[in-house]
Amino acid sequence: MFDAILIEKSGETQTCDVKQLSEDQLPEGDTLVDVAWSTLNYKDALALTGAGPVVRSFPMVPGIDFAGVVAETTHPDLKPGDRVVLNGWGVGESRWGGLAKKARAKGEWLVPLPDGITLRQSMAIGTAGYTAMLCVMALADHGVTPDKGEVAVTGAAGGVGSIATALLAHRGYGVAAVTGRTSEADYLRDLGASTILDREELSAKPRPLNKERFAGGIDVAGSTPLANLLSMIRYGGTVAACGLAAGMDLPTSVAPFILRGVTLAGIDSVMCPMERRRDAWAHLARDMDMAKLDSLSVDLPFDKVIETAPRFLDGGIRGRLVVPVAPDLG
């Protein structure tokens, strides 16, 4: 038997509790993992509170990512004792996730953890940091180099934004950190931000084009903030879009795309191909400043996850919340 957070639903009533489960209740899969660390992400908060239609079937163990040690496997590329990390693939949504001491998954979903990253650090990075790296890689792929100008990062004090700011600064980019919490200015400067912008600057009714200001952008908001950001991108620039915190709509025109050659690069971390995932984690092993990672992550006890989830939706969380599930594993 092992501890797990379980979301259940009866009629229109959803409940969340820490419960004892057995291995035979786990879903099918060729690999059993002893989970060492997980996280609390925005999507997890939506699932735990029922504020968004994240969970596709009940009961559900939430947790869209986890890191741990392979306990049993029949997958040819894995063996017991391997340190692995999982992001996405529908875990915590349509398949039981990482907020439990054990998880069963398909071996093809598990990324061997690169040397130089501990299990805890891998979850301090987590899906947020892995997504941030996919965004940084997309900017580089589209020719947005540090000499082209500042890159704007929306939601900069959040999980994706914090790590994106640190990664970009490490690579030599000037970073314009956009946040609704200007009280976090010192925190963002410590991560490497060169400019702090109040998100109100991206909240006005969008114009087709504004003054060219940024070489690129990483956006977690969508909707009006993304529309305004696109209107401010310099000729040939790129925005990597990975979130919808402000909404799924995009009230813009084709002007930035056909008059300035701007690219809007969509970033999907859930079903991203394995080769790209491995590249992202390899880059993280080289480019993530672990001292900065420690400064932007805090441990959240397993038994405090459920009660903390609503704060995520209220915008009251800074950086990364790392959940020690069985930290003695490493």
Flag whether 273 is in a domain: no
Which amino acid is residue 121, in one-letter code? Q
User: Are 141 and 258 in a shared domain?
Assistant: yes
User: Are 180 and 245 in a shared domain?
Assistant: yes
Average pLDDT over residues 50-77: 95
Choose among 63, 55, 104: nearest CA to 84: 104
Flag whether 277 is in a domain: no
Average pLDDT over residues 11-27: 94
Flag whether 24 is in a domain: yes
Flag whether 13 is in a domain: yes
Flag whether 283 is in a domain: no
Q: How confident is the model at residue 315 (pLDDT cuts 50, 70, 90)?
A: confident
Q: Is the pLDDT of residue 52 over 90?
A: no
Q: How far is CA 217 from CA 150, 201, 234, in A?
A: 8, 14, 10
Q: Could you read off the pLDDT of 102-142 as tens digits, one per residue?
A: 999 999 999 999 998 999 999 999 999 999 999 999 999 99
User: Are 21 and 58 in a shared domain?
Assistant: yes
Helix (H) or strand (E) holding 19: strand 13-21
Q: Domain holding 210: CATH number? A: 3.40.50.720
Q: Could you read off the pLDDT of 211-268 as tens digits, one per residue?
A: 999 999 999 999 999 999 999 999 999 999 999 989 999 999 999 999 999 999 999 9
- pTM of the predicted structure, to 2 decimals: 0.91
Tell whether the torsion through CA atoms of 177, 180, 186 and 188 is positive or negative: negative
Backbone angles phi, psi at 178, to 5 degrees: -100, 125
User: Are 261 and 133 in a shared domain?
Assistant: yes
Q: Could you read off the pLDDT of 247-258 as tens digits, one per residue?
A: 999 999 999 999
Q: How confident is the model at residue 317 (pLDDT cuts 50, 70, 90)?
A: confident
Q: Is the pLDDT of residue 162 over 80?
A: yes
Q: How far apart are CA 257 and CA 235, in angstroms?
A: 9
User: What per-residue confidence (pLDDT) applies to 275?
Assistant: 96
Q: Could you read off the pLDDT of 89-100 as tens digits, one per residue?
A: 999 999 999 999
User: Are 257 and 133 in a shared domain?
Assistant: yes
Flag whether 219 is in a domain: yes
Flag whether 56 is in a domain: yes
User: Are 111 and 139 in a shared domain?
Assistant: no
User: What per-residue confidence (pLDDT) applies to 246?
Assistant: 93
User: Are 98 and 131 in a shared domain?
Assistant: no
Q: How confident is the model at residue 13 (pLDDT cuts 50, 70, 90)?
A: very high
User: What per-residue confidence (pLDDT) applies to 319?
Assistant: 85
Tell me which of 247, 266, 285 is where a domain ends. Answer: 266
User: Are 150 and 260 in a shared domain?
Assistant: yes
User: Are 166 and 255 in a shared domain?
Assistant: yes
User: Are 109 and 139 in a shared domain?
Assistant: no
Average pLDDT over residues 266-273: 95
- Is-contact 126 41, C-beta < 8 A? yes
User: Are 115 and 16 in a shared domain?
Assistant: yes
Name 233's Cβ contacts closer than 8 Å, sequence gap at least 6.
212, 213, 214, 215, 216, 217, 239, 256, 260, 262
Flag whether 202 is in a domain: yes
User: What per-residue confidence (pLDDT) applies to 318?
Assistant: 82
User: What per-residue confidence (pLDDT) applies to 238?
Assistant: 98
User: Are 133 and 261 in a shared domain?
Assistant: yes
Number of domains composing the chain? 2
- Between 69-78, 180-189, 232-241, the lowest mean confidence (pLDDT) is in 180-189
Q: Domain holding 51: CATH number? A: 3.90.180.10
State the residue range of the domain holding 104: 2-124+293-329
